[in-house]
Structure 1
Amino acid sequence: MLFGKIGAPEIILILVVVILLFGAKKLPDMARSLGKSARILKSEAKAMKSEGQQTAPAEPANEPAQDQAAPRTIQAFPGDVAGARPVSEPTDSTKR
């Protein structure tokens, strides 16, 4: 068992090696970018889940369908308006 007995001294040694490899100045930037990535992933997963739960109402046969929906935007974190960018929706070629 290689990893069976990892204690406090081993964890401290691993942290020291990581700090020596990456440098103390780069670690906060790496943690910040990891946090932004996690927030983006969380918001996209929530958006996909909410889109899956929405059901389209039945459309009357005599009115044309409205395909012009507002474009979605991806935000780095909730309330971010400076970094938001529009995303084009994939088209479904199976509909006829």
Structure 2
Amino acid sequence: MRGLFEGWHIIILLVLLVVLFGFKRLPDAARSIGRSMRIFKSEVQEMKTDGKSAASSDTVKGEAIKDPDAPVAPPAPEPASPIREDNSPRTDNTSGAS
């Protein structure tokens, strides 16, 4: 394992990368890898601290906090439908046609 990467191995790898991707694409690729690593690192940190603080359970990211003094509009009535949705289990052993 000691002689696995010598100086000339690294030079060959760098030349190969430049030949494959070109000079213009290498900085963009390195920048995008850096961004991805930053995002990954912050998500891992957020997962570690998730649920440990009281403030993190109050709101979800992107969720608006409702004003308790604001008037509440009544819910809109559901349109009348000839089809009745009944999710309770059937007990009468019939086909259900009415």
AA aligned to 2:60 is P
Name the Cα RMSD after superposition: 2.9
**Larger of the two Rg values belongs to structure:** 2
Report the CA distance between 1:5 and its aligned residue.
Answer: 3.8
Report the CA distance between 1:53 and its aligned residue.
Answer: 3.0
Aligned residue in 1 for 2:17: 18
Report the CA distance between 1:9 and its aligned residue.
Answer: 1.1
AA aligned to 1:31 is A
CA distance, structure 1, for counterparts of residue 21 and residue 30 of structure 2: 12
Higher relative contact order (CA 8 A, sep 6+): 1
Aligned residue in 2 for 1:41: 40
1:51-91, Cα deviation, whole Å (9 max, x unpaired) = 14347xxxxxxxxxxx9x4331xxxxxxxxxxxxx49xxxx
CA distance, structure 2, for counterparts of residue 5 and residue 32 of structure 1: 28
Aligned residue pairs: how many?
62
Aligned residue in 2 for 1:71: 60
Runs of 4+ in 1 over 6 A off after TM superposition: none
TM-score by length of 1: 0.52
* Pairing 1:79-94 to 2, within 5 Å after superposition: 86=62
TM-score by length of 2: 0.51
Higher fraction of strand: 1
Aligned residue in 1 for 2:50: 51
CA distance, structure 1, for counterparts of residue 5 and residue 42 of structure 2: 35
CA distance, structure 1, for counterparts of residue 33 and residue 9 of structure 2: 24
Any unmatched runs of 5+ in structure 2? 64-98
Q: Give identity over the alignment, percent.
A: 43
- Do structure 1's residue 8 and structure 2's residue 26 form an aligned pair? no
Any unmatched runs of 5+ in structure 1? 56-66, 73-85, 88-96
> In structure 1, the residue corresponding to 2:18 is in which secondary structure?
helix
Q: In the superposition, relative to structure 1, how do residues 48 and 5 fare at CA in structure 2: closer, same or farther (>3 Å)?
A: closer
